[in-house]
Structure 1
Amino acid sequence: MQRTKQNHAWRVFRLLLIFFCIGLSLQFTSCGKKQAENTVFSVDDLSGKKIGVQLGTTGDTLVSDYETDGSNTTVERFNKGNDAIQALKQGKIDAVVIDAQPAQSFVAANSDLMILPEEFANEDYAIAIAKGNSSLTSSINDALNTLKANGTLDAILNNYIGENIGQTPYTSPENVNRSNGTLVMATNAYFQPYEYYENGTIVGIDVDVATAICDTLGMTLKVEDMEFDSIITAVSSGKADVGIAGMTVTPERQKNIDFSDSYTTSQQVIVVRNNDAVSGGTSLSEKFKTDFLTDNRYQFILTGLKNTLIIAACAALIGIVIGFLVAVVRSSHDKTGNLKILNAICTVYLTIIRGTPSMVQLLIIYYIIFGSMNISKLLVAILAFGINSGAYVAEIFRSGIMSIDNGQFEAARSLGLTYRQTMLSVILPQAFKNVLPALANEFIVLLKETSISGYIGLTDLTRGGDIIRSITYDAFLPLLGVAFIYLVLVVILSALVKKLERRLRSNERN
């Protein structure tokens, strides 16, 4: 028996080692390839090319016209500007259209990229506020006018942009009366220098501007990090009071949201590969240190792992409870024809949940069902995945109940047991034993499904890796590290499932 355990552990170790070596070889293979040649040197060269943009940004709106002008231009839309930049570096696209200041940060960290001298477009940045909230709009405009008049706004901008970077950091005045409540700011912290992570905290121009506004209005600032295309939805639904993320005022956005006065201007520029760049490699140890050890960035992974395990465990319990109740109703109706109304409700539930993607369900629960409620994102994720899992667990339980021979049901009834007693004492114990392995496999699937929690701004394991990628511009180790952790968790759970199955078979023989 001991030898069997050792052999199994060795097989698991070899699997993980092979996985890591494959990723490592792919990284070195890609490093050895010659960088794709740049073919975009001006705005006129964009026609017929593959253009990368961040989904929902001004750049996305501006380049959309290229898709319909008959030039065979392809627009690739990414959730983060960092992802578009990585695709550009890998030769998957020809250019990225993005805001000037983030573009400068990208180029500063990637010597193989450059910004074309020709501007693509000019734009004004403003603060997004829910429609009809005229009092907050007026208060923020008054605060912005004050900050402009006393030079605070210029000092904040100059601290991040220009020749005096880092020389005029904003600090809140002492003894500020913050009795006017909390201002919740929705942002997308992958947009340096406007908002980005530094030492585990979201900082940048927009955060300092929001802090200064709160100091002026006597409020406390709370920053919520989420996907860029979710910011307007969060503000409109009341999940956030304002959206500040280098957001441009456009007629399309004004249909759904109000804007404050402009607080700064920027330009859309084109980022391309630099044909004259000298390629240089970075050792794996240096990458590991930069990605995980510098500024304790591994904390993002640990925080995400903790949230992932909490969501998966709690959602599994909710799913078991819901699934058990639904399965009992459905199987009882199949056997006796009773509980018609409850069965109809359960059927509708199963149809909707099993027929729609879990990501859509998560967004509906967060932005619509709990749209006006200030509820924990962790709790929302637990409920969403628990409800989703319940639909699949219900069918697992139901199949287990229906697999029990009807002769046992009839024998129990002939002995004088009621239907309820028969189900509790005879049918369900056997059914539960039969479906235990399937339930364990459902938990494995649920664990991996939690990787979409980042769409509501919750830091799960996958999003923890995304944050590191946004800081270091390195996709290899953060993604491989996240995949490795998921693999370890799944291998451990799979081993437990196999052990459980062997024990059940052993009990049956005994």
Structure 2
Amino acid sequence: MQGKKYNLFWNFIFVLIIVSICFGVYYASKRVDYIWRWERLLQYFVYEDVTNIRTPVAGNVEITDKKIKVIPMQAGEPYTVKKFETKQVSDGDLVFEGDVLASNSRTRAGPLLTGLYMTIKISIVAIFFAIIIGVLTGIARISSNPAIKKLAVTYIELIRGTPLLVQIFIFYFFIGTILNLSRFTSGTAALAVFTGAYIAEIVRAGIQSIPKGQMEASRSLGMNYFQAMRHIIMPQALK
């Protein structure tokens, strides 16, 4: 019973803190000399993209059978609009080149949804390559070959010791320019290389946490180094 009262009290304190923060943010926004147009928030997620259909010729409008036809003032073929949603002219109107005849609307994703999709896309691709880089570098980190081990250590320390923003700039403005990489490729490569360094340390720690006796037992059963790593060590290290 005492535990329930204790939890109830501190849960109440938690809710009170959250409500106070929300009220503080609301009060601060009211104090700012700015007109908050919250009704425009939805268009950053979904909006209606309106496309106007303009006439390339001047002439008289003729509307028949759900079609808009412009009869040129001078000799020439009439201009016909067959697919449209909203009419902007009436039958018999006089229009000139560039005037709007009708419009079509289409629901499109706003900048926030587009950005969310791109973020998820880049993250998935970057994580995939980061795991590959991290696993290979983690294995190289504990290699008995001094050159391979020192290369892995240099990569890990260099990447972990520099800010991600600097690495993104280097990949985009320098490496991306030289290799003519797209923005997506440059961003994905920067994130993959950055995350791979951290995954390498996780893999290295996981491998070193496995008792050495398991590697020795695997080798005594006739497995070579790569077979032992694949079937015995790595499945445990990656858990």
Fold-level similarity (TM above 0.5): yes
Distance in 1 between residues matched to 2:151 and 2:29, nearest whole Å: 56
Partner of 2:213: 407
Please state whether the residue corresponding to 1:371 is helix, strand or coil: helix
Please state whether the residue corresponding to 1:311 is helix, strand or coil: helix
- What is the Cα deviation at residue 31 of structure 1? 4.1
Please state whether the residue corresponding to 1:356 is helix, strand or coil: coil
- What is the Cα deviation at residue 395 of structure 1? 0.5
Check the 8 A contact 2:141/2:149 in 1, yes or no: yes
Alignment of 1:60-459 (within 5 A): 287-293=37-43, 296=47, 299-331=110-142, 333=143, 337=144, 339-433=145-239
- What is the Cα deviation at residue 371 of structure 1? 2.1
**C-alpha distance after superposition, 1:462-484 (max 9, x if no partner):** xxxxxxxxxxxxxxxxxxxxxxx
Q: Which amino acid aligns with 1:310?
A: K
Distance in 2 between residues matched to 1:303 and 1:25, nearest whole Å: 31
Distance in 2 between residues matched to 1:427 and 1:361, nearest whole Å: 33
Please state whether the residue corresponding to 2:112 is helix, strand or coil: helix
Aligned-residue RMSD, C-alpha = 2.8
**C-alpha distance after superposition, 1:448-472 (max 9, x if no partner):** xxxxxxxxxxxxxxxxxxxxxxxxx
Number of equivalences: 165
* Closer/same/farther in 2, CA of residues 299 and 31 from structure 1, 3 Å limit: closer
- What is the Cα deviation at residue 374 of structure 1? 3.7
Partner of 1:436: none
Q: Which amino acid aligns with 1:303?
A: T
Partner of 1:277: none
- What is the Cα deviation at residue 27 of structure 1? 3.2
Distance in 1 between residues matched to 2:193 and 2:154, nearest whole Å: 13
Distance in 2 between residues matched to 1:376 and 1:341, nearest whole Å: 33
**C-alpha distance after superposition, 1:32-90 (max 9, x if no partner):** 54x6xxxxxxxxxxxxxxxxxxxxxxxxxxxxxxxxxxxxxxxxxxxxxxxxxxxxx6x
Moved over 6 A (4+): none
- What is the Cα deviation at residue 382 of structure 1? 0.6
* Closer/same/farther in 2, CA of residues 429 and 31 from structure 1, 3 Å limit: closer
Are 1:28 and 2:35 counterparts?
no
Check the 8 A contact 2:176/2:182 in 1, yes or no: no
Distance in 1 between residues matched to 2:214 and 2:223, nearest whole Å: 12
Please state whether the residue corresponding to 1:404 is helix, strand or coil: coil
* Closer/same/farther in 2, CA of residues 310 and 23 from structure 1, 3 Å limit: farther
- What is the Cα deviation at residue 23 of structure 1? 6.1
Partner of 1:54: none
Distance in 1 between residues matched to 2:29 and 2:197, nearest whole Å: 45
**C-alpha distance after superposition, 1:74-112 (max 9, x if no partner):** xxxxxxxxxxxxxxx6xxxxxxxxxxxxxxxxxxxx6xx
Please state whether the residue corresponding to 1:296 is helix, strand or coil: strand
Alignment of 1:6-45 (within 5 A): 24-33=22-31
Q: Which amino acid aligns with 2:27?
A: T
Of structures 1 and 2, the larger Rg is shown by 2
- What is the Cα deviation at residue 313 of structure 1? 0.9
Distance in 1 between residues matched to 2:155 and 2:111, nearest whole Å: 36
Distance in 2 between residues matched to 1:411 and 1:288, nearest whole Å: 66
* Structure holding more strand per residue: 2
- What is the Cα deviation at residue 415 of structure 1? 1.9
- List gaps (5 residues or longer) in structure 1: 1-10, 36-88, 90-109, 111-280, 434-510
Distance in 2 between residues matched to 1:428 and 1:372, nearest whole Å: 37
Check the 8 A contact 2:130/2:193 in 1, yes or no: yes
* Closer/same/farther in 2, CA of residues 300 and 330 from structure 1, 3 Å limit: same
Q: TM-score, normalised by structure 1?
A: 0.30
Check the 8 A contact 2:43/2:110 in 1, yes or no: no
- List gaps (5 residues or longer) in structure 2: 1-10, 49-108
- What is the Cα deviation at residue 311 of structure 1? 1.1
- What is the Cα deviation at residue 400 of structure 1? 0.6
- What is the Cα deviation at residue 22 of structure 1? 6.0
* Closer/same/farther in 2, CA of residues 302 and 402 from structure 1, 3 Å limit: same
Distance in 2 between residues matched to 1:394 and 1:31, nearest whole Å: 44
- What is the Cα deviation at residue 28 of structure 1? 2.3
Distance in 1 between residues matched to 2:42 and 2:151, nearest whole Å: 49
Q: Which amino acid aligns with 2:184?
A: L
